[in-house]
Structure formats: structure tokens, C-alpha cells
Amino acid sequence: MADFVIPPPAIVSVPVAGGGAFPVRRVFCVGRNYAEHAREMGSDPDREPPFFFMKPADALLLNDADMPYPPQSKDLHHEMELVVAIAEGGVDIAEADALRHVWGYAAGLDMTRRDLQNAAKKEGKPWDMGKGFDHSAPIGLMVPASKVGHPATGLIELKVNGKVRQTSDLSKMIWNVPETIAYLSGLVRLAPGDLIYTGTPEGVAAVQRGDLLEGSVQGVGTVRTRIA
């Protein structure tokens, strides 16, 4: 036992549907992984390899918890995403082997301080404070691949106050889940407990205090939060 000089931080975990909890190590996010979203952000989706950014594990916000409107922003955006949970780590994982590394899936929201992200982009600065702030990653219950399989198609949707804001299909990802795992594991050694937010379809927009966000990924589950 190490002689810790302060109490060690708690292990962040995501509840699993039906019981248990998935312990989280790191949270990776894919940027611009649906063509229509890349276009709405002013990029050409056809010429880009996947790129990644990160959120701290303790930015996760468990399902049904309120999300405090973050400081230093007047332009908080929703990004509805499929989240992949890694059970078995590895480096240079082959596409054909990638799904064997997956424990399960969840529906998640990559909440974004778009004003800070846009300012960072313009100045060539890091996105971290636009993306990796406190409570920026609402996530629903985790479901095991042993029960739901590996969804490659299916509706991904977000409603705000009951009105559909984002709607697309998982099959429209530019880089699918095996390709994403293969690519990311060529950049870092993936480890048990890592999550990957796989990018958002078009329709991202601002939310206000009081808004109710209800997202769903067909075959996976739902995520819900209210902006407080």
C-alpha cells in the first residue's frame, strides 16, 4: 500500500443496466465523425483522418442528474453520441479484432462550450476547456455487448424539451467502431476502463437553463439530463 499524502480520488464508474458498474479510466472523443456534422462545422469530411480529444473521467455525469450550466460560456451545445466501453486494452489493435476489446455501449452527450472551442480553434489553441469541463459528459446506463451485440446501424436521436434536434443513423459514422479502435490504439495503448465517445451527427445547437435533453441510441439505451 502506498503511503498516500492525501486521500486517493474515488474511482469513477458508470452503472450497468441490470446491476454492477463499469469503472472508467479515460474518456476519448472522436471529432467530426459524421459527414453532415463536419459540414455544419465548416469542414470537408472527405479528406480527414479521425482525430481525438479527451475529457477527464470525472467529467462524466450519471444518467438523470442535472447538468449545471458551465461557467465562462454563453453557448453550451449538445452533441449526441454512441459511447464504446473498452474491456481489454492493447496497442495497434487490428480492425478485425477490435470488437473483442469492447465490453459494451452507452448513450452519451459530449457537451461543448462552443464559444470557447471556436475561440481556441481560431487561435490554434487546445480545445480542452471547450470540451473537458466539469459535468461535460452525461452518460446513460451501460449495456454489455454480450446482451446487445455490436450495433453498427440504428437510430441515434436527441430531443430537447420533447422536440427532435438531432437524428441520424450509426451507419453514417465516417469511421466505424472497429476502425476507430484500430486507429486510436495506434496512437495510445488502450486500457480496460477506457471510453470512446464516437462523434455526433448533425443538428448540434445551443441549450438553455431548464432544457430537458433526452437522447437515445437504438439497441443501446438512453441518456437524460436537465440543464440547471
Binding interface with Mn ion (CB under 5 A): 79, 110, 200
Cβ-contact 90, 189 below 8 angstroms: yes
Nearer to Mn ion, 110 or 214 (CB): 110
Query: What is the nearest approach in angstroms of Mn ion to the Cβ of residue 30?
Result: 7
Nearer to Mn ion, 63 or 200 (CB): 200
Residue type, 217: V
Cβ-contact 113, 121 below 8 angstroms: no
> How many angstroms separate the CA atoms of 206 and 189, rounded?
35
Q: Which helix (H) or strand (E) holds 182?
A: helix 177-184
Residue nearest to Mn ion (CB): 110
Query: What is the nearest approach in angstroms of Mn ion to the Cβ of residue 95?
Result: 22
Query: What is the nearest approach in angstroms of Mn ion to the Cβ of residue 81?
Result: 6
The sign one gets for the Cα dihedral 176, 178, 181, 184 is negative
Query: What is the nearest approach in angstroms of Mn ion to the Cβ of residue 31?
Result: 7
> How many angstroms separate the CA atoms of 107 and 218, rounded?
9
Query: What is the nearest approach in angstroms of Mn ion to the Cβ of residue 29?
Result: 5
> How many angstroms separate the CA atoms of 2 and 33, rounded?
42
Nearer to Mn ion, 16 or 109 (CB): 109
Nearer to Mn ion, 24 or 27 (CB): 27
Nearer to Mn ion, 79 or 211 (CB): 79
> How many angstroms separate the CA atoms of 88 and 104, rounded?
11
